[in-house]
């Protein structure tokens, strides 16, 4: 793994692509930009005058996020700044030259933060245990603090739709909570707003986009060296569902956008205790309407059909009235 990381080369622009690859890249760019534009509009992620701190990890997702946001910045009807920020967590063998060289060629303002969270994680987490939780908290704290220092109004993270759905199932299966990653989040202290511009984007599209763009991907040696992570198991489950039932992943995400607290069991989200009926409320909805025709229940039992003969309806109504 360390050898693989050290061999990463900087290539901010793709090599000569075939006609087929160029066509595919153009289609992907249009789709991803449309999806990012839609989620920004739907959640009011970026406003005029914003300073966006774009967190760049060296993975495919954050590269794609920066690329798409820079493109939208040129076309948007509003003005906003983009500042790329990478946190060097001092993982052994981390290629420190890759991101600065890549960002220099993009001509985008950037900062490289250095903080040895790797040693802290290794010291606190026993060998073989999942390091993701502590690593994420340390990284988040550093980035939140730096956003305040540079006056960033929004912090952009590269989580995509698959990440959001996986997090939902992770919390359901292992945390006993129905929650995921919101596209827009206010930090607990109210000091920072986190946005996820890739929330509508599929991971497989981002993978292909990164390949065609030839981003200089930097593997995460800290997390990637651990096997059998719960997230990997959930990812495998969802991939299997996607193969067996095409469209299921899209349906799950749509369901997350259409929650109904009154149809659940969470007493914090809906006041079930105080529910009372209104004796004066007009009958409507899932009730038998007064103007529906009466029918012979015996006829249904014998023939399996409803007899809507007008004379018989009148006769049955009279019989019941007696």
Annotated binding site for [4Fe-4S] cluster: 132, 135, 223
CA–CA separation, 273 vs 302, rounded Å? 45
Left (φ > 0), alpha (ψ -120 to 50) or beta: where does 93 sit?
A: left
Residues 154 and 46 sit within 8 Å (Cβ to Cβ)? yes
Q: How many angstroms separate the Cα of 27 from the Cα of each of 7, 22, 34, 212, 294?
A: 31, 9, 11, 12, 58
CA–CA separation, 181 vs 195, rounded Å? 10
Binding site as annotated, residues = 132, 135, 223
Residues 209 and 25 sit within 8 Å (Cβ to Cβ)? yes
193 phi, psi to nearest 5 deg: -115, 125
Who's near 206: CB < 8 A, 6+ residues apart?
32, 60, 61, 64, 160, 198
Please provide the DSSP assignment of 161-191 as one string. HHHHHHHHHHIIIIIS------SEEE-TTSS
Please give the sequence-ordered ranges of beta strands (E in DSSP) within 67-158, or none if there are none: 81-88, 110-114, 154-156
CA–CA separation, 253 vs 236, rounded Å? 17
CA–CA separation, 264 vs 45, rounded Å? 29
Please give the sequence-ordered ranges of beta strands (E in DSSP) within the chain, or none if there are none: 51-55, 81-88, 110-114, 154-156, 184-186, 193-195
CA–CA separation, 269 vs 179, rounded Å? 13
Residue position matching structure tokens 């006041």:
271
Count helices and strands (H / E) in the chain.
13, 6
């Amino acid at each position: 793994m360390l050898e693989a990381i050290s061999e990463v080369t900087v290539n901010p622009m793709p090599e000569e692509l075939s006609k087929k690859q160029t066509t595919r890249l153009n289609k992907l760019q249009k789709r991803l930009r449309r999806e990012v534009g839609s989620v920004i509009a739907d959640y009011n992620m970026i406003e005029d005058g914003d300073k966006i701190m774009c967190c760049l990890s060296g993975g495919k997702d954050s590269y794609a996020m920066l690329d798409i946001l820079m493109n939208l910045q040129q076309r948007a009807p509003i003005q906003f700044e983009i500042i790329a920020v990478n946190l060097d967590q001092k993982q052994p063998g981390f290629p420190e030259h890759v991101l600065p060289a890549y960002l220099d060629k993009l001509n985008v303002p950037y900062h490289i933060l250095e903080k040895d969270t790797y040693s802290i994680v290794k010291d606190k987490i026993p060998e073989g245990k999942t390091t993701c939780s502590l690593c994420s908290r340390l990284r988040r704290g550093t980035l939140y603090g730096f956003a305040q220092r540079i006056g960033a109004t929004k912090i952009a993270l590269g989580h995509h739709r698959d990440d959001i759905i996986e997090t939902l199932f992770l919390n359901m299966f292992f945390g006993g909570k129905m929650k995921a990653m919101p596209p827009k989040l206010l930090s607990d202290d109210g000091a920072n707003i986190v946005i996820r511009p890739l929330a509508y984007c599929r991971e497989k599209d981002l993978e292909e986009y990164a390949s065609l763009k030839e981003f200089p991907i930097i593997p995460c040696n800290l997390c990637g060296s651990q096997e059998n992570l719960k997230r990997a198991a959930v990812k495998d489950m969802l991939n299997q569902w996607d193969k067996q039932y095409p469209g299921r992943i899209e349906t799950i995400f749509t369901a997350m956008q259409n929650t109904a607290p009154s149809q659940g069991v969470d007493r914090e989200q809906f006041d079930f205790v105080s529910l009372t009926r209104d004796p004066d409320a007009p009958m409507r909805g899932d009730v038998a309407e007064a103007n529906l025709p009466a029918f012979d229940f015996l006829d249904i039992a014998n023939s399996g059909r409803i007899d809507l003969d007008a004379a018989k309806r009148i006769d049955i109504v009279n019989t019941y009235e007696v």
